[in-house]
A and B are shown apart, each in its own frame.
With several copies, the nearest count.
Chain A
């Protein structure tokens, strides 16, 4: 194709996006669009899969059968989200194995929040309430993103996430209405998960890159700081309702702005975790790598068996 032709295609493409038309796998798309989407969708998929681990840590010790079943189902949903998202990503011409390789080699990122440990049962509540809460704020706009398979996956993901978020909040509510020991457990979980959740929206706008392009492609509709503000505004009253305190002395309602003011994030901690030195980065990655490596013989067996069955069929036909 000539450069002119490509420019023409790009123009048509940008117009389609501007008209809110969905881009589908077989449609022409700029290489950068493809690469950006592979990066973002796969990061999102990896986050779902790695996100199974901190919550999975409490399945065997859940305090009631009802909670055990709910947690197990929730973690399973995350595996399901991983599946849709990997499939969406595969439509962009990359295989699942390549995506796994990127994760296992440390080349691909996943959400840093999952590098914190779950150390009490209340953490399961806090993750549902805060982490899923933050995730939804990040993700809801993606239900209208330009790439069709991603948008459709996100609709399903968001529906389930908001169920998870309510479930998490309900765990917190039960603890806060429980014994003093339980309420203390809830407060402690909020203390530990608040700032990492705030970090889920990424660097402040002045530090953030790629935003303009992402806005255009509807991979992003609001800036990091806007989303973070939305999270604070949504969560602060919920904490009040629970009767526990967000660990930020600067948190205060600003009547004038119509928003909460809040304190500064510890960006050193943010970058430490992003760079792979959080409390559980090594454990999370090695859990995934181990599962994958120990599963190799199983996947090989399934392939070998399928081939044998296929050969038999062909033989019967022939």
Chain B
């Protein structure tokens, strides 16, 4: 596989971890309880740890003295290939949990396939990440149930979050060019194959949480092509602030 394509393929996975990790890290110290604060920080730490493994691999592939930080902080918005779902803002705890659940269910399914990648670095990262993400999914799923089958207010809030964020789920299963090539070479995962099982499992849990399944025919897309929502620019302005303001320094 061409190096350039492999790098693009990795961005398609790693950038999700970075952006969601960043979003969760914004919440640190502001959660509804110390216990959820600690748990969400753990998830953020796992995701950022995964991000580093992927980007270190990209840095190795690209050579030229690139570092994980060049890759994390010095790309333009259009070069980040994360899905729209993960950049959605921390509107409230219902949004945070729903975003997490909708992503975790996909993420675990992806990693379960990626652990069989022909690329040894990727399959090793995936094997390690599976344990972490299984925990994420249990945590977010449990909370969706608590909120859905909790009080009237919590049900209403989480239902609203599900309805809003649902439109970003379809994109998870779109194949980019880099994906198709990686799939053809036995390196990448054919995410389109994960779709049916994903919606099955997600719907099952939403039903258990006594929530309604949205019946949207229309979905949003663009992140995988680097066309993000207007939230992304502000996220990046913070994320990149130091690296941009003080270029070429060691921290």
A–B contact (CB under 8 angstroms): yes
Q: Which residue numbers of A lie inside 8 Å of B, CB to CB?
A: 49, 52-54, 56-57, 59-69, 72-73, 75-76, 79-80, 82-83, 86, 117-121, 171, 174-175, 178-179, 181-182, 188, 192, 272, 275, 277, 279-280, 282-283, 287, 290-292, 294-306, 308
**29 A-B residue contacts at CB 8 Å?**
A49-B29, A57-B233, A59-B26, A61-B233, A61-B242, A63-B246, A65-B69, A72-B41, A76-B28, A76-B37, A76-B42, A83-B38, A86-B34, A117-B229, A119-B77, A119-B78, A119-B232, A121-B242, A178-B250, A182-B246, A192-B227, A279-B220, A279-B222, A295-B93, A298-B32, A298-B36, A298-B93, A300-B154, A305-B149
Cβ–Cβ < 8 Å partners of B44 in chain A: 72
Closest CB in chain B relative to A61 CB, distance in Å: 5
Closest CB in chain B relative to A272 CB, distance in Å: 5
Contact indicator per residue, chain B 28-71, by CB within 8 Å of chain A (1) or not (0): 11111111111001101100110110010000000000001100
How many of B's residues come within 8 Å of A, CB to CB?
64
Q: Is the CB of B48 within 8 A of A69?
A: yes
Q: Is the CB of B33 within 8 A of A75?
A: no
Cβ–Cβ < 8 Å partners of A308 in chain B: 149
Cβ of B228 under 8 Å from chain A? yes
Cβ of B213 under 8 Å from chain A? no
Contact A280 B230, CB 8 Å, known A64-B69, A174-B250, A295-B93: yes
Closest CB in chain A relative to B40 CB, distance in Å: 10
Q: Is the CB of A63 within 8 A of B25?
A: no
Q: Is the CB of A302 within 8 A of B150?
A: yes
Cβ–Cβ < 8 Å partners of A192 in chain B: 227
CA distance A29 to B227 in the complex (A): 48
Cβ of B72 under 8 Å from chain A? yes
Closest CB in chain A relative to B225 CB, distance in Å: 10
User: Which residue of chain A lies nearest to B242 when distances are taken between CB atoms in the complex?
Assistant: A63
Q: Is the CB of B52 within 8 A of A82?
A: no
Cβ–Cβ < 8 Å partners of A82 in chain B: 34
Contact A75 B45, CB 8 Å, known A119-B232, A174-B251: no
12 extra interchain contacts, Cβ-Cβ under 8 A, other than A76-B37, A300-B154?
A: A53-B29, A63-B251, A72-B41, A82-B34, A182-B246, A280-B229, A291-B32, A299-B32, A301-B150, A303-B150, A304-B150, A305-B147
Closest CB in chain B relative to A118 CB, distance in Å: 7
Interface residues of A, dominant DSSP? helix
Cβ–Cβ < 8 Å partners of B251 in chain A: 63-64, 66-67, 121, 171, 174-175, 178
CA distance A19 to B145 in the complex (A): 52
CA distance A297 to B97 in the complex (A): 14
Q: Is the CB of A295 within 8 A of B29?
A: no
Q: Is the CB of A282 within 8 A of B147?
A: no
6 tightest A-B CB contacts, nearest first: A295-B32, A301-B150, A301-B154, A277-B218, A63-B242, A52-B29
Cβ of B215 under 8 Å from chain A? no
Contact A302 B51, CB 8 Å, known A57-B230, A295-B33: no
Cβ–Cβ < 8 Å partners of B146 in chain A: 301-302, 305-306
Q: Is the CB of B242 within 8 A of A291?
A: no
Contact A120 B77, CB 8 Å, known A76-B42, A279-B220: yes
